[in-house]
Structure 1
Amino acid sequence: MPIVYNKNIDDHSVLAIWKIEETEEEMLAGLQLKQHELDIISSFNNGKRLLHWLSTRLLLRKMLNTTAYIDCQFDEDGKPYLVNSDYQISLSHSYDYAAVMISKEFAVGVDIELIKHKIKSIKHKFLSDIELAQKQIGNNTEGLYVAWCAKEAIYKWHGKKGLEFKRDIHIKPFKLKAEGNLNALVELPGGTRELTVNYFKTKDGYMLGYVANKA
């Protein structure tokens, strides 16, 4: 499994992307799974979903540089966490890639998506009219994916149910680049926060957004 991207985001946080080229059998051979995990993967009804699940766990193992068992579970809000570890984590996957972000200091969120034109048909579901009026978003497929990945990364960073993309996360005007960042205002129960989200487009047509900040 080639790690195609591995970056220290800051002194405490790391982001890595893995291109999935292995078979299910090859990935299973590299993991130590307990019965509750075997039960989970036996419930998957298609191969890609299983490959995504296995690849994020293998990438976690490589990023933590351990051969020991890693117990990755999900809390009641669906946020992943590591049992008996002080690392905060975020997981994402899309088609041929898996992305993982870890941090000892910050809450993190990452999202990777294969860029497709069909996002234009749902843009009004996750963007306000004010956001859609921004020329770098509007009817621009890549700009729409930057906005989607940014909002998804923020949602994962927050890690609690109830946050709505269109109502609670507001993308401020930004300059669209192949790699850049944007600021977003987030309406949280404790008040409004402004977060910086970094993003980049891969050479083979994926968009990725990520955020690391105090919760």
Structure 2
Amino acid sequence: MALLFINEIDKDVRLGVWEMEENLNYEQFASLPFYDRLMSLSENRRKETASVYSLLFAMTGNRNLVIGHEPSGKPYVEGYKIGISHTKGFVSVILSMSCDVAVDIEYINIRVLRIADRFLREDEKPATLLFSMKKDKSGDKDIIPDVVPDVIPTLLFWCAKETIYKLYSDERLTFQNIKIMDAEQGGALCGNNLITGESVRIDYTFNNDYVLTYARE
């Protein structure tokens, strides 16, 4: 397993991404309280869970933490507010001691275009993001991986909606209850909870492997 980064994105908010590896030594977790449950999982779920714990330990320096889940599915850890996401080859964790947090990560895949109608509202326009994405150092072109042009903006909207859904997990929002818009600030989206009228900034980043969105409140 490999740590990609841990970033201090705010005074009390840390964000990390971990790349999963094929061959894992699960014995490194043998003395920890969740080991038996870990070994009872399928290989894929075991790999994801081990990667999440490895990232959590790297972010906190505490190997005694145990992740639990509320009835809504929202994860919790003693002493922290936590958000967790995983996708093909990667996991991400966001942590805070004071504010609610959420994260979503998705690997680059054009299949998102085939299901876009299932999660996009009629008044949402992901393609407009192509004109406002972050520029490279030369300022001459957008930093967009070599994929079908609409894939990155559409994935960003998908991840943003998943992030808002997780942030308000107790409300059981549907995709139609969440409206995503381009934010005035660069490198961010605006997520609207249409049930409560609340709006949240959703920061994002992407590369050739994945799209990542996160929010705190």
Runs of at least 5 residues in structure 2 that lack an aligned partner in the other structure: 131-148
Name 2:154's counterpart in structure 1: 144
User: 1:90-117 CA deviation, whole Å, 9 max, x = no partner?
Assistant: 1111111111110011101001101111
Deviation at 1:66, TM superposition (A): 1.7
- The residue that corresponds to 1:173 in the other structure is 182
Match 1:63 to one of 45, 52, 59: 59
Q: CA deviation at 1:52?
A: 0.6
Which residue of 181, 190, 198 maps to 1:183? 190
1:3 aligns with 2:3: yes
> Do residues 205 (structure 1) and 209 (structure 2) align?
yes
Residue identity in the other structure for 1:170:
K
- Alpha-carbon distance in structure 1 between the residues aligned to 2:30 and 2:37: 15
Quote how far apart the aligned CAs of 1:134 are. Answer: 5.3
Q: 1:115 to 1:200 in 2, by over 3 A?
A: same
Q: CA deviation at 1:128?
A: 0.7
The letter of the residue matching 2:153 is G
- Distance (Å, rounded) in 1 between the aligned partners of 2:51 and 2:79: 21
Whole-Å Cα distance in 2 between the matches of residues 32 and 186 of structure 1?
43
Provide closer, same or farther for how the CA distance between residues 211 and 114 of structure 1 changes in structure 2, counting only shifts above 3 A.
same
Unpaired runs of at least 5, structure 1? none
The residue aligned with 1:52 is: 48
What is the CA-CA distance between 1:31 and the residue it aligns to?
A: 5.8
- Please report how far the alpha carbon of residue 174 of structure 1 lies from its aligned counterpart in structure 2 after TM superposition: 4.9
Deviation at 1:70, TM superposition (A): 1.4
TM, length-normalised to structure 1: 0.83
Listed one character per residue, the Cα deviations across residues 58-111 of structure 1 (whole Å, up to 9, x for unaligned) are 2111111123x21211010000001xx221001111111111110011101001
SS of 1:105's equivalent?
coil
Question: For residues 34-59 of structure 1, what are the alpha-carbon distances to aligned partners after superposition, in whole Å with 9 as ceiling and x for unaligned?
Answer: 36x62464142xx2222111110121
By how many angstroms is 1:161 displaced?
Answer: 5.1
* Mapping of residues 45-194 of structure 1, within 5 Å: 47-67=43-63, 69-82=64-77, 85-132=78-125, 135-136=128-129, 140-160=150-170, 162-165=172-175, 167-174=176-183, 180-188=187-195, 191-194=196-199
Q: Which amino acid aligns with 2:180?
A: I
Tell whether the 8 Å contact from 1:131 to 1:170 is kept in structure 2 after alignment: yes
2:22 aligned with 1:18, yes or no?
A: no
Change (3 A) 1:92 1:164: same
CA positional deviation for 1:144: 0.5
Q: CA RMSD of the aligned region, Å?
A: 2.2
2:46 is the alignment partner of 1:42: no
Does the CA contact (< 8 Å) of 2:127 and 2:150 recur in 1? no
Deviation per residue, 1:171-214 (Å, 9 max, x gap): 11358x8xx111121124xx211100001112x3200000011x
CA spacing shift, 1:181–1:5, aligned 2, 3 Å: same
Name the SS of the counterpart of 1:124 in structure 2.
Answer: helix
Would you say the 8 A contact 1:28–1:54 is kept in 2? no
